Amino acid sequence: MLPLTTPVGAVRIVIGAIPITLLIALFALIMLISLALPRERREYVLQLAPIVVQLVRAIAKPSRSTAR
């Protein structure tokens, strides 16, 4: 594990934070879309939230070939 003080260590931490930022942005987008829809359709959009979480977790997990 590289310390944060090295440039490579800092870059790895920033790259690791990108999926978290993506998750937050997708949740915000889903909530905004759900507010714009009628109540009946809002339930369908809110059902997408767990799917989005699973997708981002799958993207955020490092593959075994890149993990050190």
> pLDDT (tens digit, 9 = 90+) per residue, 23-46?
778 778 878 887 887 877 777 777
User: Alpha-carbon distance 50 to 45, whole Å?
Assistant: 11
pTM for this entry: 0.43
Counting every residue written for the chain, the total comes to 68
Q: Where in the chain are the domains?
A: 7-60
Coil, helix or strand for 55?
Answer: helix
Q: pLDDT value at position 25?
A: 83
* C-alpha triplet 29, 31, 36: angle, nearest 5°: 95
